[in-house]
Amino acid sequence: MSGLAPTVRGIVEAAASSSSSSSSPASSSSSSSSPSPSSDATTSASGWIRSLRSHKKVAFAELDDGSGGTLQAVLKGPSRALADELTPGTAVHLSGALSPSKGAGQAVELLVDAGTVLGPVSDGYPIQKKALPASVLRENAHLRFRTGAMGATVRVRDALARDWHDWFEAHEFVHVHTPILTANDCEGAGEVFTVAQSLPGVQKEPFFPRPVNLTVSGQLHLEAPTHALGRTYTLSPAFRAEPSQTSRHLAEFYMLEAEVAFVDNLDSLLDIAEASVRDTVSTLLHSDSRRARRAREDIGRIAASKVAAEAEERASAGLPPLPPPCKEPTPLAHLEAATTPFKRMTYADAVVLLETEHKERPFERAPGEGLASEHERWLCEHFGTPVFVTHYPVTQKPFYMLPSDADASTPSSAAAAGATVACFDLLFPGIGEMAGGSMREHRLDALRDSLARHGLPEHEYQWYLDLRRFGSAPHGGWGMGWERWVCWVTGQANVRDVVAFPRWAGSCRF
């Protein structure tokens, strides 16, 4: 594209492709717009210095522009003096000739003829080392994009979003931007951020005539277009004022949510949700598209960075390195769990199983208490696959869920467990709850009764009740925590490490 220079990754891939083509007799007469590693053409690249090794007569700089590839720049002769101006993090523009590289893991290198320092690095730059503890990087969230692991995480997050958009488009869902400001609390738990007009010293009428919150979910608003468009989804921010300090919770995060009209039973909804997950994971694992190939490479980079960081922490603590595993796991091995059929069981059956077989800690719960994250993870480990837990007690779930006795697909174990709703939590290995969904209560009178039972004022939900007054149809949907999804795919343990600027209880630095 005119105006966009080749990226470092593009330069390296084009050079490797050119070398491969030129070695084939059939391609000896072909031409390429990219210079081959042995040509005299000048190649220019801009980026940041990732690392630098300087010797008396030659220096080697690793150039990274964030595209997912690095290029070794060799500075010798007249260009050697430039190396004295370089430190990790320096922004530069370099030009020279590409040459086949003798170094391991790199096909070509740039023999620098000329270079310009575009942005020097001041003293105190915190991203000097290749491997830094997660706590240090979170304190420097504005700079941690410059690490290989965070750069790879952002690219994988982008690739995953595009894969999900592709899946929804292929199945004729419409992408809807749901509002951030709302007068309703979707979950009814009261864990909302209230929006206040902030004009110090100025007294005037409130901007809004009623209390307004930041959304905790786009679901209620997504149901409105679903009653006209049939199939909708959104990938939108959500906000919850939970004091949780766990590795799975953020105050600001993204939710992938979908709603489907004319689905009249929970089994069908489970089929749709499961297909969406399995299809997108299969695409990541097996597609030969450039996006999938690059995402797989980046997941490998994240895994390697994690190993390096752990080794660095052990060395800093004076501990010996860990012995290598008997069999080195691949960075993608854990994804295979989501390519086989998911286990499905009712909440009542899950409780019986946990009470019978859970050995690490007795399964004890107060009346009305749900599954703990420990128990969710145990269920996944027990079955070796993602698990749908369905038909939770009505007292544990929000007002908008359809009672199980109104769903013909309700199994006998759920029917015998008392009042339950036609819902599910999708549990994932190492994560616990990944997604949750339900059939929605589509009957007007039943929904009004549910609002009353949950102590919610009917007048605040008149617009939502209107969806039932005018052409209501059976429908259902689900929502997935986006950061949890990215965590699981990339093999990372904390949602704070897969979002650009994490916010959690007690922390909103940037």
Q: Domain segments of the chain: what residues? A: 8-119, 138-197+206-497
Give the closest residue to 332 by CA, choosing from 373, 374, 288, 293: 293
Res 2 pLDDT > 70: no
Res 32 pLDDT > 50: no
pLDDT at 31: 39
Res 25 pLDDT > 60: no
pLDDT at 63: 97
Asked whether the CA dihedral 407, 413, 416, 422 is positive or negative, the reply is negative
Neighbours of 381 (CB within 10 A): 12
For the domain made up of 8-119, the CATH class stated in words is mainly beta
- For the segment 313-333, the average pLDDT, to the nearest whole number, is 76
Record the tokens describing residue 7, joined without a space. 């990226």
- For the segment 203-222, the average pLDDT, to the nearest whole number, is 88
- For the segment 148-170, the average pLDDT, to the nearest whole number, is 97
Q: Kindly report, residue by residue over 35-88, the tens digit of the pLDDT.
A: 555 556 899 999 999 999 999 999 999 999 999 989 999 999 999 999 999 999
**228 three-state secondary structure:** helix
pLDDT at 37: 58
Res 103 pLDDT > 50: yes
Record the tokens describing residue 199, joined without a space. 């004009």
% residues pLDDT > 70 (the chain): 89
Topology alike, domains 8-119 and 138-197+206-497: no
| Strand order through the sheet with 387-390 | 174-175, 231-239, 252-261, 475-481, 432-439, 423-428, 387-390, 343-346
Record the tokens describing residue 171, joined without a space. 């199945």
- For the segment 416-431, the average pLDDT, to the nearest whole number, is 90
Give the closest residue to 493 by CA, choosing from 503, 502, 484, 480: 484
Count of alpha carbons within 13 Å of 346, Cβ hemisphere only?
20
Lowest mean pLDDT of 130-134, 223-227, 285-289, 378-382, name the range.
130-134
The larger pLDDT score, comparing residue 302 to residue 243, is at 302
Res 157 pLDDT > 90: yes
Res 29 pLDDT > 50: no
Lowest mean pLDDT of 45-49, 246-250, 305-309, name the range.
305-309
Q: Kindly report, residue by residue over 443-458, the tens digit of the pLDDT.
A: 999 999 999 999 999 9
Q: Kindly report, residue by residue over 339-353, the tens digit of the pLDDT.
A: 999 999 999 999 999
- For the segment 229-254, the average pLDDT, to the nearest whole number, is 93
Instruction: Encode 140-173: b = buried (16+ Cβ within 10 Å), e = exposed.
Output: bbeebebbbbbbbbbbbbebbbebbeebbeeeeb
pLDDT at 360: 64
| DSSP-assigned letters across all residues of 87-116 | -TT-EEEEEEEEEE--STT-SEEEEEEEEE
Chain position carrying tokens 């509002």: 179
| DSSP-assigned letters across all residues of 333-374 | GGGGGGGSPPEEEEHHHHHHHHHHH--SS-----TT----HH
Query: How high is the mean pLDDT of the chain?
Result: 89
453 sits in which H/E element: helix 444-453
Asked whether the CA dihedral 48, 53, 56, 57 is positive or negative, the reply is negative
How big is the chain, counted in residues?
510
CATH fold for the domain made of 138-197+206-497: BirA Bifunctional Protein; domain 2 (3.30.930)
**152 three-state secondary structure:** helix
Res 406 pLDDT > 70: yes
pLDDT tier, 369 (very low <50, low <70, confident <90, very high otherwise): confident
pLDDT at 80: 95
Residues 201 and 249 sit within 8 Å (Cβ to Cβ): no
The larger pLDDT score, comparing residue 303 to residue 328, is at 303
Q: Kindly report, residue by residue over 172-206, the tens digit of the pLDDT.
A: 999 999 999 998 876 666 689 998 876 666 667 77
- For the segment 319-323, the average pLDDT, to the nearest whole number, is 80
pLDDT at 315: 78
Q: Kindly report, residue by residue over 475-505, the tens digit of the pLDDT.
A: 999 999 999 999 999 999 999 999 999 999 8
